[in-house]
Amino acid sequence: MNDALDVAFRLIVVFAVFLVLPLVIGQTEHKVMAHMQGRLGPMYAGGFHGWAQLVADGVKFAQKEDVVPAEADRRVFQLAPAVALLPYLLVLVAIPIGPSEGAVGQVVDAGIFFVLAVMGVGVLGSLMAGWASANKFSLLGGLRTAAQLLAYELPMLLTAASVAMAAGTVSLPGILNAFEWWWLPWQIVGAIVFFVAGLAELQRPPFDMPVADSEIIFGAYTEYTGLRFALFLLAEYAGIVVLCGLTTVLFLGGWHGPFGADGLGWVWTLLKIAVLAFIVIWLRVTYPRMREDQLQKLAWTVLIPLALAQIALTGIVKVVI
């Protein structure tokens, strides 16, 4: 009985994190983008600096009519948002935020493989949405999503493999236990490649060609309204949380910090995630969208060679020490 309670408690905590952190990042995005563009952003809802804007948005989405186009493939169309969103919830279960047993939802033996495999499933949601909408803009968006995923999955896997080689384990808490501060300069190339490839997988600017609103409306999500559209948006922000969390755990040392080793580990993790999320938002405001051929070129001629070089470097250092 105690075990069941423990599992239930962990799941509830992970679910709460899954609901709260994406909203925090969404609100931060409103504000950071506004101030970088010399304006205020939402100021009215909730009184203090418009903190309740996203809640208001949620209420608005819930009130809207849920429309399925007449020509669409109904079931696939309706299933797609769930397929896009649920994998990120599953990934959050495996990300450790502190050194103790209780600071991770569930220790997964092959943690790296688990998180990368399940994250890859989420993209199926976009493909299903793109095809089932029976709309050529949606189909184009789905095609671009697939092309982007095929190009950027490989560098992500290669750099994650580099970290696994360095740590000698594929379990996420195991990697953090093996972490030393000098891994930071050692794996820095891998970290950048991983982060950039992750951004592309999430279709965040400057890699947002699949949803490029000025040419294909909103890509695979063009036909969606109401709650289902909100679920896709939530998936995007949950994806940011997961990507920043993974980069923190794999490359930035997770709960390790200059001081406060005991008890404050989770603060370091959250701080690093917050800084990375800020960078994600910053990139959206500052960089123009990349063209499709530039996207493919970046992945195949820059990121993959860099990732391979990182693996070679990791191997050499590992053999030498």
Partner 1 sequence: MTFAAAATHGFLSPAGVEIAFLLVGVVTLGAAVITVTTRQLVHAALWLVVALGGLAVEYLLLTAEFIAWVQVLIYVGSVVVLLLFGLMLTKAPIGRSPDADSGNRWVALAVAAVAAASLVWVVVDAFRTTWIDLDGPAQGSTKVSGEILFRHWVLPFEALSVLLLAALIGAIVLSRRDGEEPGKVPASRTAPAARGGKDSSSGRADRSAREGNS
Residues that bind partner 1 (CB under 8 A): 71-73, 76, 108-110, 113-114, 116-118, 120-121, 123-124, 127-128, 130-132, 134, 136, 139-140, 142-143, 146-147, 149-150, 153, 157, 169-171, 292-293
Torsion angle (degrees, nearest 10) of CA 140, 141, 144, 150: -120
- CA gap 259, 19 in Å, rounded: 30
Q: What is the 3-state secondary structure (H, E, C) of 129-158?
A: HHHHCCCHHHHHHHHHHHHHHHHHHHHHHH
Preceding amide of 288 cis, omega within 30? no
| Closest distance to partner 1 from the beta carbon of 230 (Å) | 23
C-alpha distances in angstroms, 319 versus 161, 176, 312, 313? 16, 20, 11, 10
Pick between residue 242 and residue 273 the one whose CB is nearest to partner 1.
Answer: 242
Instruction: Spell out the long-range contacts of 118-121 with Cβ–Cβ below 8 A and sequence spacing 24 or more.
Output: 118/87, 118/90, 118/91, 119/87, 119/88, 119/91, 119/201, 119/239, 119/242, 120/149, 120/153, 121/83, 121/87
Pick between residue 57 and residue 73 the one whose CB is nearest to partner 1.
Answer: 73
**Cβ-contact 305, 155 below 8 angstroms:** no
Pick between residue 26 and residue 174 the one whose CB is nearest to partner 1.
Answer: 174
| Closest distance to partner 1 from the beta carbon of 232 (Å) | 18
Pick between residue 43 and residue 116 the one whose CB is nearest to partner 1.
Answer: 116
Pick between residue 98 and residue 174 the one whose CB is nearest to partner 1.
Answer: 174
| Closest distance to partner 1 from the beta carbon of 99 (Å) | 22
| Closest distance to partner 1 from the beta carbon of 121 (Å) | 6
- CA gap 34, 285 in Å, rounded: 9
Pick between residue 97 and residue 119 the one whose CB is nearest to partner 1.
Answer: 119
| Closest distance to partner 1 from the beta carbon of 110 (Å) | 5
| Closest distance to partner 1 from the beta carbon of 114 (Å) | 5
